[in-house]
Structure 1
Amino acid sequence: MNRTFIKLLFYLFVCLISCKSAYINTSKKLKDGGANKSINLYAFVGKKISVTEFDPNENKENELTGEYEIDEDTGDTLKIIRKHYIMDRAFKCKYQVLRKMFNYLESDTIEFIAYDHYGTPGFAESDSVILYISKSKDGSHYFHQKYQFDKVYVNKKGQYYSYPKFTENASIKTLENLFGFDKTFNDEKYDVSNLDSNSVKMYYPSEFYKIENNFAIPVKGVYLNPLTNYRLFTTFKDL
């Protein structure tokens, strides 16, 4: 076996290992998009095709629980039957996938189910948004991570960007690693009049928001990969 052939085998082996590692281990630090089979999350920029409400309890059947109780009047033993009832409103959603951010959906269009306790999901108000979905346990469908979405913008170069939303999971170290660029989103205002000073600092840190007349206004934009990294470290850290 000559040296050239041995080198080719070595390079092929390194390439295979590198490709596998890139697919499995990029979940917490994305450079050009990434994927991780062990994390049940798909993030993408989507354009709305349809959002249609349906009755989530329409085909629900009574379920035998295996439990028993005694009828106080007759003394008979009764088998308990319960019916699971979904209190949220439910929607069948179909979106065109404009840009894949984390884990790779096989199609350029995706259908998923969204639940919302308050009404029509907030993401449906915009034509294009950043969406976060997961696959059901039985693999039969995708479902929206409840209430999680980001508004999306595009610059003259065709680059997508947004601004970060913060929760109590955002540590100082996380903020230091979240790089952005100066951009004031004057149309996005959050009422902070009912928040104390500590809560304002937590949810609207001064590095990314300005406070004017009791409203927090985003003043820094973030491109998709840093935003995805931030989401993986905070919102979806337990997936």
Structure 2
Amino acid sequence: MKIKIFSIAISFIVITACESAFIVTSKNIKHGGANKNINLYAFVGKKISVTEFDPNKNKEPEPKGEYEIDEETGDTLKFVRKHYIMDGAFKCKYQVLRKMFNYLETDTVEFIAYDHYGTPGFAENDTVILYISKSKDGGHYFHQKYQFDKPYINKKGYYYSYPKFNGSESPETIQNMTGFDRTFSDEKDDVSHLNPEAIKMYYPPKFYKIENNFAIPIKGIYLNQLINYRLSTTFKDL
């Protein structure tokens, strides 16, 4: 039997564009300010541009392939593997208005964001609280997928926001959190699809009121408390 080698059969490995695997982990988390052991940069940013690009353009197949015998013809086929990113990809540029955790060296920053559902949610607002990290090779920053907060500013010029809960917080964590009274009437989450227990988990009554099947934040927190909370929960494994 003659052995024929073909480089035409391509097997695709589908990967999502979550770059969390590139994060340098540390168990010694210090809240607030700066900690070089934590690969996270948090800041209030003003949108300059958010531009979609094709993350798979000019991607070359891996040079080393795998061989397999075709059951029908008996020929030997060479399979070349190609990684394919399913998420939408965006090049983002933001002006840094206020640094919250770890310090970016410039007043503007560029980073890559991936989103499986289309344009990232943070791009809907001109000003937003963002969380980014450095890639493993240090060549670029990337957005912590789906993570952002909406900033507000009071008459004295202080930024604040409100906490978002992921349902894994202990009752003690929520009870120990403090805030100031402030109803965010422009922020409403539909909770009609959630049962009462789930509503309590994601929208605890200390920080939210339920009205006409919508959860509305009723307490604000300042940025130092927000980043401390984020480091203790969302980003505790960085």
- Listed one character per residue, the Cα deviations across residues 148-201 of structure 1 (whole Å, up to 9, x for unaligned) are 000000001000000110012221222133221100000100111110111000
User: What amino acid sits opposite 1:228 in the alignment?
Assistant: I
In terms of fraction of residues, the more helix-rich structure is: 1
Aligned counterpart for 1:29 among listed residues 19, 28, 31: 31
CA shift for structure 1 position 39: 1.1
CA shift for structure 1 position 131: 0.1
Residue in structure 1 matched with residue 148 of structure 2 by the alignment: 149
Residue in structure 1 matched with residue 13 of structure 2 by the alignment: none
User: What amino acid sits opposite 1:203 in the alignment?
Assistant: Y
Residue correspondences, number: 213
For the Cα contact (< 8 Å) 1:28–1:233, is it kept in 2? no
Q: Whole-Å Cα distance in 2 between the matches of residues 200 and 25 of structure 1?
A: 31
Q: Which runs of 5+ in 2 are unaligned?
A: 1-25
Give me the TM-score of the superposition, normalised by structure 1: 0.85
Q: Whole-Å Cα distance in 1 between the matches of residues 186 and 92 of structure 2?
A: 26
After superposing the two structures, state which structure 1 stretch, 218-227 or 174-183, moved more.
Answer: 174-183
SS across alignment from 1:39: coil
**Cα distance change of structure 1 residues 166 and 80 upon mapping to structure 2, 3 Å threshold:** same
Q: Which runs of 5+ in 1 are unaligned?
A: 1-23
Residue in structure 2 matched with residue 214 of structure 1 by the alignment: 213
Residue in structure 2 matched with residue 204 of structure 1 by the alignment: 203
Residue in structure 2 matched with residue 190 of structure 1 by the alignment: 189
User: What amino acid sits opposite 2:127 in the alignment?
Assistant: S
SS across alignment from 1:83: strand
For the Cα contact (< 8 Å) 2:208–2:216, is it kept in 1? yes
After superposing the two structures, state which structure 1 stretch, 180-189 or 73-82, moved more.
Answer: 73-82
For the Cα contact (< 8 Å) 1:210–1:216, is it kept in 2? yes
Which structure ranks higher in relative contact order (CA pairs < 8 Å, sequence separation ≥ 6)? 2
CA shift for structure 1 position 74: 3.6
Query: For residues 50-89 of structure 1, what are the structure 2 equivalents within 5 Å?
Result: 50-89=49-88
Q: Whole-Å Cα distance in 1 between the matches of residues 152 and 38 of structure 2?
A: 26
Residue in structure 2 matched with residue 18 of structure 1 by the alignment: none
Q: Whole-Å Cα distance in 1 between the matches of residues 141 and 104 of structure 2?
A: 11
Residue in structure 1 matched with residue 5 of structure 2 by the alignment: none
SS across alignment from 2:83: coil
After superposing the two structures, state which structure 1 stretch, 196-205 or 165-174, moved more.
Answer: 165-174
Matched, 1:138 2:137: yes
**Cα distance change of structure 1 residues 71 and 125 upon mapping to structure 2, 3 Å threshold:** same
SS across alignment from 2:92: strand
Residue in structure 2 matched with residue 171 of structure 1 by the alignment: 170
Q: Whole-Å Cα distance in 1 between the matches of residues 176 and 218 of structure 2?
A: 17
Q: Whole-Å Cα distance in 2 between the matches of residues 66 and 197 of structure 1?
A: 53
SS across alignment from 1:123: helix
CA shift for structure 1 position 127: 0.7
Q: Whole-Å Cα distance in 1 between the matches of residues 143 and 116 of structure 2?
A: 13
SS across alignment from 1:48: strand
Residue in structure 2 matched with residue 160 of structure 1 by the alignment: 159
Q: Whole-Å Cα distance in 1 between the matches of residues 176 and 57 of structure 2?
A: 47
User: What amino acid sits opposite 1:146 in the alignment?
Assistant: K
CA shift for structure 1 position 26: 8.7
Query: For residues 72-151 of structure 1, what are the structure 2 equivalents within 5 Å?
Result: 72-151=71-150
SS across alignment from 1:174: helix
User: What amino acid sits opposite 2:181 in the alignment?
Assistant: D
- Listed one character per residue, the Cα deviations across residues 27-54 of structure 1 (whole Å, up to 9, x for unaligned) are 4433xxx111111111100000111111
The share of aligned pairs that are identical, in percent, is: 77
In terms of fraction of residues, the more strand-rich structure is: 2
- Listed one character per residue, the Cα deviations across residues 37-76 of structure 1 (whole Å, up to 9, x for unaligned) are 1111111000001111111111211114543211223433
Q: Whole-Å Cα distance in 1 between the matches of residues 97 and 69 of structure 2?
A: 58
For the Cα contact (< 8 Å) 1:45–1:131, is it kept in 2? yes
Q: Whole-Å Cα distance in 1 between the matches of residues 34 and 78 of structure 2?
A: 48
